């Protein structure tokens, strides 16, 4: 829920103090912007023009998800459709992992998973993809295909997940359970003091691959795998590391996409 308040009539100050300009929504401005009137409040509070029409003249604008902002006068705040409001999230789409980490999935989706009949690893993958797309939707208001593009997993993956997971949840009446589980993850992200910028990680890892030195050290640390060194492909190790660092699925790795373009994968 985003809120903005202003005087829709003549200025309520005879002298407008210096402060933030333009629209300042509650989810996109700093605390000092929201608390602007409190600085030096005693100095000019008496200048407020609170005549008998102020409650009608002062208006508030409310945003409900992707809907256009609605305007209500202070006098008519009782008409605000509060049940439609949703929490404003503190995390950004850049801080949403493209593929929900396994520990988050275990912590928040175990109950839902046990309610799915004939559950398989395919359901786990759909749930983990869908959870990330839903998290992105919460902070952007975009559709799942659009969220998939924002997470760099492709519009097609977003459409497929929306349809496949949607059917699975709808058929078993588990849509509300999915929503609750994702909301728990959102609260987890909101409460995290140190969130990860996964978009930055993807950018930094876009051209990365495991070098010969690290490849050699890998087998030195794992002597039982020495016999595999002559046949193992260092690209596989690079893909595994990329997936772990970016929290994305291996098929999204630039190395995989490059080899697919060559017809090698």
Task: Report pLDDT for 73.
Answer: 77
Task: Report pLDDT for 225.
Answer: 64
CB-based contacts of 216: which residues, under 8 Å, 6+ apart? Answer: none
Residue 69 has pLDDT above 70, yes or no: no
Higher pLDDT, residue 99 or 21: 99
CB-based contacts of 194: which residues, under 8 Å, 6+ apart? Answer: none
Distances (CA, A) of 213 to 137, 207, 223, 226, 241: 41, 17, 16, 15, 15
Higher pLDDT, residue 192 or 39: 192
> In which band, very low, low, confident or very high, does the pLDDT at 58 lie, cut at 50, 70 and 90?
confident
Closest CA to 235 of 203, 210, 198: 210
Boundaries of every domain in the chain: 2-84, 93-195, 201-262
């Amino acid at each position: 829920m985003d809120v903005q308040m202003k005087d829709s009539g003549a200025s309520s100050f005879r002298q407008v103090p210096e402060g933030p300009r333009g629209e300042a929504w509650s989810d996109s401005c700093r605390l000092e912007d929201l608390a602007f009137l409190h600085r030096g409040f005693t100095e000019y509070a008496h200048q407020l023009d609170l005549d008998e029409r102020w409650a009608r003249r002062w208006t508030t604008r409310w945003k409900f998800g992707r809907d256009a902002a609605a305007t209500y006068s202070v006098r008519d705040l009782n008409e605000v459709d509060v049940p439609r409001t949703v929490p404003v999230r503190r995390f950004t789409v850049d801080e949403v992992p493209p593929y929900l980490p396994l520990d988050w999935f275990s912590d928040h989706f175990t109950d839902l998973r046990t309610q799915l009949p004939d559950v398989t690893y395919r359901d786990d993958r759909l749930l983990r993809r869908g959870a990330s797309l839903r998290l992105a939707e919460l902070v952007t208001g975009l559709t799942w295909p659009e969220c998939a593009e924002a997470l760099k997993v492709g519009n097609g993956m977003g459409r497929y997940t929306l349809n496949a997971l949607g059917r699975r949840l709808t058929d078993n009446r588990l849509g509300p359970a999915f929503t609750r589980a994702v909301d728990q993850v959102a609260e987890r992200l909101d409460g995290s003091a140190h969130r990860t910028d996964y978009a930055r990680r993807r950018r930094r890892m876009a051209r990365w691959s495991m070098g010969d030195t690290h490849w050699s050290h890998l087998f030195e640390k794992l002597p039982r795998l020495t016999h595999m060194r002559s046949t193992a492909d260092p690209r596989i190790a690079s893909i595994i590391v990329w997936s772990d660092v970016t929290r994305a699925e291996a098929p999204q790795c630039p190395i995989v996409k490059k080899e697919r373009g060559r017809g090698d994968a």
